[in-house]
Structure 1
Amino acid sequence: MAEAEQPQQIPEAAYPAPPPFWRHFTLANEEELKQIEASSNDEQPTRKLPLHLAYLRPPPPPSEATEFYTTFGQKQIIDPTKPSSLPTDQLLFSPDEPSLNHAVLLSKLTKSLLLNFLELTSVLSLDPAEHEEKMADIRQLLINIHVVINLYRPHQARESVKEMLEGILEDGQREIDECNRLKERVEEFLVGVGKAEGSNVQDSAQASAGAQVQEDSHNELMDKQRELWKMIHEMT
């Protein structure tokens, strides 16, 4: 009696080789594809591309009903947050529980993972052949940790947006404070200009009082003008 056909096992590797069609992504093929697309129009039917050019066009996105996609021979879940995508038979908690605390649950699972790893080292030191049960426990804990992290992603996104908005508000407040500071400097500058003009008129009226008085007034006016220019330099 022939043995039941076993499903093909795809070998796993830590660093799998890239797909073989990467060799078709060359400048010459890209230029050829551009020429074909430029020569075609809407009235003509879609031309079937040769194999070495077909790889240059991305595949269509999966439909909304699709839950898995394959990469490097492994099935990957498109949306891990969907209830239908959760491995309910492996979960150690209820995702629908209203009082579920993701942070506390993740901390418990992490501590359990460390404890199981220590137990695995003990098993390997005593009887390495009995490691399967402990490896299954570790695998189940990792699945649960992955599910909890995916369930927590909406909260993480909300906190990220909150932090970004707070940064925008802080930047706006700094700009407002800088505008207020410059406003005060401008007001001080205008007050100084008014005082300088008043002193200039007064000095002109007293010009006949004597050469010494005129020279002192001129020096005082120059000092005030230097102060004004210094304020302008500091403001810029």
Structure 2
Amino acid sequence: MEEQETANAVSSTWPPPPPFWKDFTPENLSRIEELRKSRAEEAEAEGSIDQEDPTTKKVRRLPRLRGLPRELRNLQPPPEPEAGSWRVFDATYRLVDELPRLEDQGVRRLFPNPEERDQDGKHFDRATILKRLAKSLLLNFLELTGILAINPGAAEEKITDIRDLFINFHHLINEYRPHQARESLIALMQAQLDRTRAETNAIRDAKEKVERVLEGLGSLKGDDGPVKEPAAKGPWARDNETWGALADELI
């Protein structure tokens, strides 16, 4: 009965949380942290601690902790898969996310390899190739409609051609993804830089306005001292007018 429940939990669409979440207690976390620190100190004393590789700019991690108690084994992240891929919810993920080649998928390549060069020694223009594929799609679709009107049974070959055209078109667009990510990052950083510059300029303008207002307030004194206000206006009338003028300058 227990084996049947375990099989149902594994094969369900949204399985329950794994039972090892109970091992993540504050006591266990502090214990494994102390073990990691002691292991790092031992490796540093032995001179076997990994340093940054100047060629790859990657820091190799310390070896995994061995001989951990049962309640601490799940607190250590699992090692990287040796095959470089793993499955989660029936989907395959890879450590190195590379665009698969058309030949590996069993699809005909209908355009030259972008890494190759033409007769003039120049790289092939991807935009031109995309335009040609789009025109080929329209032409093959018109041919498909004609075949379906005359002999529907012979349309399988033309459908295969249209499928290959769509896959090649989509594959060529996906090759632009790194360029798109790079340009998106550049645009994001440029927008952040422009926003920071605009805020800096606004602060400088406000500073200059305050300095001009303060200079104007300093020039209100005459040769015989400060200008006296009539007594009817009250002792705070001059301050109110000064703050009002300051507000008008800053707005």
TM-score, scaled to structure 2: 0.58
Structure 1 segment 74-153 matched on structure 2, within 5 A: 79-81=97-99, 87=105, 90-95=108-113, 96-98=115-117, 99-153=123-177
Superposed, which structure 2 residues align to 1:175-190 within 5 Å?
175-190=199-214
Between structures 1 and 2, the one with greater helix share? 1
Question: Relative to structure 1, is the Cα distance of residues 70 and 202 closer, same or farther in structure 2, using a 3 angstrom cutoff?
Answer: closer
Q: Residues 75 and 182 (structure 1 numbering): CA distance in 2 closer, same or farther, change over 3 Å?
A: closer
CA drift at 1:186: 0.6
CA shift, 1:146, in A, is: 2.1
Per mean C-alpha deviation after superposition, the further-off stretch among 115-124 and 86-95 is: 86-95
Count of equivalent residues: 194
How big is the shift at 1:80?
A: 4.5
Deviation at 1:167, TM superposition (A): 0.6
Q: Is residue 80–residue 86 contact of structure 1 (8 Å, CA) maintained in 2?
A: no
How far did residue 118 of structure 1 move? 2.3
Q: In the alignment, residue 161 of structure 1 is paired with which amino acid?
A: L
Task: Quote the residue 2:21 is aligned against.
Answer: 34
Structure 1: unaligned runs, 5 residues or longer: 1-18, 50-57, 205-213
**2:15 matched residue in structure 1:** 24
Q: Deviations over 1:88-142 (max 9, x none)?
A: 8611122222412222222221222222222212211221111111011011111
Counterpart-to-counterpart distance in 2, 1:107 and 1:100: 13
Q: Which secondary structure state, in structure 1, belongs to the residue aligned with residue 227 of structure 2?
A: helix
Larger-gyration structure (1/2): 1
**Runs of 5+ in structure 2 lacking a partner?**
1-9, 33-66, 118-122
- Alpha-carbon distance in structure 2 between the residues aligned to 1:161 and 1:154: 11
CA–CA distance in 1 between the matches of 2:157 and 2:92? Answer: 24
Q: What's the CA shift for 1:168?
A: 1.5
Equivalent residue letter for 2:22? Q
| Secondary structure in structure 1 of the residue aligned to 2:225 | helix
Contact between 2:103 and 2:109, CA under 8 Å: does it hold in 1?
no
Identity %: 29
1:231 pairs with 2:233: no
SS at match of 2:130: helix
Please give the TM-score of this superposition, normalised by the length of structure 1: 0.61
Residue in 2 aligned with 1:43? 68
How far apart are residue 44 of structure 1 and its match?
3.1
Q: Which has the bigger relative contact order, CA under 8 A and spacing at least 6? A: 1
1:158 aligns with 2:173: no
Which deviations, in whole Å up to 9, do the C-alpha atoms of 1:201-233 show, x marking residues without a partner? 1536xxxxxxxxx749x89x9578515434237
Conservation of the 8 A alpha-carbon contact between 2:137 and 2:162: yes
- Within 1, Cα distance between the matches of 2:101 and 2:203? 52
Aligned-partner Cα distance in 1 for 2:237–2:23? 78
